[in-house]
Chain A
Amino acid sequence: MSQTPSPIGLHKQLDAIWRTPPGLARLSSVNHTILGKRFMALALLFFAIGGLLSMLIRAQLATPNSAFLGPDIYNQIFTMHGTVMMFLFAIPMFEGFAIYMLPKLLGARDLAFPRLTAYGFWCYLFGGSILIIAMLAGVAPNGGWFMYTPLSSKPYTPGINADVWLLGITFVEISAVTAAIELFVTILKMRAPGMALTRMPLFAWYMLVTAGMMIIGFPPLILGSILLEMERAFHLPFFDPTRGGDPLLWQHLFWLFGHPEVYIIFLPAAGALSTIIPVFAQRPILGYRAIIAAIVAMAFLSFGLWVHHMFTVGIPHLALAFFSAASALVAIPTAVQIFAWIGTLASGKPRWDIPMLYVFGFFAVFVCGGLTGVMLAMVPFNTQAHDSYFVVAHLHYVLVGGFVFPMLAAIYYWLPHISGRQSLYRLSIPAFWLILIGFNLTFFLMHLTGLMGMPRRISTYPSNWGWDWLNLLSSVGGFILTMGFALVLADMVLQFRFGARFRRDPWQAGTLEWATATPPPSYNFAAIPHMDTRADQLRPARIGPTLAGGDGYLGFARNGEQETLAVDMMSGDAEQLIVLPRRSYLPLWTAMATASFFLALLFKLYWLAPFGALATLVLFLCWPIGLGSKSDRGPIDIGRGLAVPPDVEAPDNVTVLANRTALVMNGTLFASLLFGGLFLLVVAPNWQGSSAPTLPLWAGALAVVASLSAAGASAMAARRPGSVLPLRAGLVAAIALQVLALTLLALSMGALGDPTGHARQAVPFVTLGYAALHCGLGAIMAAHALWRHAQGYVSARRRTELVLARLWNGYAGGVVVLALGLVALLGLNGVAP
């Protein structure tokens, strides 16, 4: 640090620390730039597959009485089209984009948990492959992308098809869970010093809210999938009305996820628009604070709409009115954003370029989709248009308008960042027009076929119903659209091969990602800048060379360690020094173990599944080996005259925040389970005269006492990290008590009565199972803390492991109390009408 090396020298030193070597070692990469690119490339591949499937659909529907595919294959094709587009293309696409972009936008060198990023990627790849391979084998899911029961239950889908969906998608969702937690924590804690929350670029705000929505939105789907798979595999009734279940429970759980999901897809796209539009309007975005308020409103409102997918299932007027009003109202925050964008353009000096073409395409298409959305929010109209092609038209106007057009704008805007080259523009303009015209031809006509009564999900139709011409034209439009996408792809390839190189910041942007060299180096920034202004009004071309010269925080290579900074959540003051873990094959091995668990379930090798789960757990326990520090280092110099403690010595570091977030997510899953149990109790048929679950009272009471005492013991251990004996005693006690609680809960599960007979036994069975699992996890976290303490990683200052043990044991205690409360409620005699 005394002698500053030249920019080139500094680059070499840092790159030696951060780089991923070529060859097979690529499989060990944990770098967010590399993984973000992998996520996006794979998502584009799935987009192509989904697009191919849609071409098959349109080929089949182009003419009446077509014998091209036949109904069985057709069912698989449209189900896979919807599933691939939603779960394997749209979600991973924006995740990959955020993974690539956020650290660069915020001024960090990587995400908070690089190995978790890699693990998420492998889960995405393996889970997605399961679905595609199943399709090639002819056993793809065929019950529609929302998998309604009873169609997807065992009697009506006896084959493996539905299991492929439930297990494959749940496997892929692991990557959404890890991404949500990681992005949430990174945005809150890992920004350039000085970047207060209110100085964050809007894209980071959008992703913060999106990550928050994923944390609440995904658990209901994951729970629903687990319950349905248990019903299919082990005959536990949750959705079977003859045994006290209710198919509507599936619809509630699915749409509790499914509606927020469309906003989860839209918000990142809107974040990209909010970044691109000001650059081309050549002025700062209008209404920065109003947009923040609007996305918060949108995020919450979108959770109050889910029943609008169920308007026709027969629910009271009052409930209809709630959800109808909320559905119409959510248009307002959307409109606030649209007006902010239009206002920004109107009051700026708009500059014409390819990304702007797609921005205008977005405006045109998305506004139409929004308007048909408000139409569908009205119950009487919805009753008419339900399950018709009008809905197919609406959903594509929203999804393609709200996601694909912004994505194309983003590709043209940011691809130069990845490639280091500028677009040639030859093909860009014809491609745009083909896409816009093709899209509207395909989907506008579907409004009409829908209003003429054509239902969705039919494999063919007779020719005398007047739908022939419209369908043929719609199919022609589909192929024009595909040609447009093919041109975009060619354009991208050409850009990588022949595009002109540029120095920095080709668009005169205002955000930090353009201050990196392009293509970006493995460590992003040779030095981390200090932010004195809002981080969307910077001069990247000027900042870039300064940072490359090492002028800023951490502008040096030290001890061969991957260093980056953590800041105070609100103010953005530098707070901790984070040393990130190096590249490793562990994420790959762990994901393979996880895959063996899912495959065992899929092929009904139920004896093997526990081994897969165990292997995953053991491998996860290997992750912390070698991480952390065995001595207190105290404040460390980070440049610019500042010194901060390493994050292991700080009480509220990213690890603790991530675990708190994970527990909120986990708690949402548990809350969904409680909701499911109460829902069945209150509305499911066939509860009259069912026998109550029999719970040995002493076992339940003792389990509560044991688990709560374990929580207390681990809390005590966390409070006295300095003194060895009480600490160890507390942790050992926590382990023993949780094991006791686990045993008691397992005993109670056995005593409930046959769980396959009635939901009144099945719900307590899984609820207690969930509680027992978390007692086990509490014990493991306590044991982990004990082990780390024995190795010297825990001290009075370095007590992350103790905090984690306290958190997980406290959570387990709370779960046991609530679980037994639910069981008691279901045990009351004669409650159900």
Chain B
Amino acid sequence: MPLVRLVAGFVIWSAGFVVLYAVQALGCAYGWGDWHRPVLIGLYLLALAPLSWLAIPARAGAEEGPLHFAALWANRAALLAAVLIFMPVTFASLCV
């Protein structure tokens, strides 16, 4: 469904956002110590994978609806948002 494709990227972005924020809080509350950052970075990369796939234009022959353009750019925006907004997991201080 084209409508699903239109929001797919940002739904993934939202899920990534919630998971990263929750894991950040959990890691601090339960003292994950040295594991905390690698887990966050792993999740960061995990979120980027499907987003990168959605940001590539559908191959020739795939559905080519009129909503296609809007969906493609919404998904690219989601990728960009994920790259930039989640980036701090690589450097910002985790619990203070």
Contacts and interface: CB of A to CB of B under 8 A. Distances in A.
B28 interface: yes
A570 B2 contact: yes
A536 B89 CA distance: 45
A318 B29 contact: no
Contacts of A134: none
Contacts of A332: 77
Interface in A279-296: 289-290, 292-294, 296
Interface in A307-348: 316-322, 325-326, 329, 332-333
A364 interface: no
Given A322-B17, A322-B21, A296 B94 contact: no
A293 B93 CA distance: 34
Interface stretch (A146-154, A298-306, A438-446, A519-527): A298-306
Contacts of A833: 29-31
Contacts of B28: 316
A459 to B, nearest CB: 37
A297 B85 contact: no
A139 interface: no
Nearest to B37: A318
A578 B67 CA distance: 28
Contact of B94 (A303, A318, A569, A682): A318
Contacts of A303: 14
B74 A296 contact: yes
B70 A304 contact: no
A743 interface: no
Contacts of A320: 92
B88 A296 contact: no
B67 A326 contact: no
Interface in A682-710: 682-683
Contacts of A301: 10, 81
B25 interface: yes
Contact of B85 (A196, A329, A682): A329
Contacts of B78: 297, 300
A49 interface: no
A467 to B, nearest CB: 36
A683 B81 contact: no
A572 to B, nearest CB: 12
A198 interface: yes
Contact of B81 (A290, A297, A316, A321): A297
B30 A329 contact: no
Interface in A443-492: none
A326 B88 contact: no
B7 interface: yes
A34 interface: no
A196 B13 CA distance: 28
Interface string B1-27: 111001100110110010011001110
Given A289-B69, A293-B70, 17 more contacts: A196-B66, A290-B73, A292-B70, A293-B71, A296-B6, A296-B7, A297-B74, A300-B11, A316-B95, A316-B96, A317-B96, A318-B24, A325-B85, A329-B85, A682-B29, A833-B29, A833-B31
26 contacts: A197-B3, A198-B65, A289-B66, A289-B70, A292-B70, A293-B73, A296-B70, A297-B81, A300-B11, A300-B14, A304-B13, A304-B17, A316-B24, A316-B93, A316-B95, A317-B92, A317-B96, A318-B92, A319-B24, A319-B25, A321-B92, A322-B85, A326-B85, A333-B77, A570-B1, A683-B25
Interface of A: 196-198, 289-290, 292-294, 296-297, 299-301, 303-304, 316-322, 325-326, 329, 332-333, 569-570, 682-683, 833
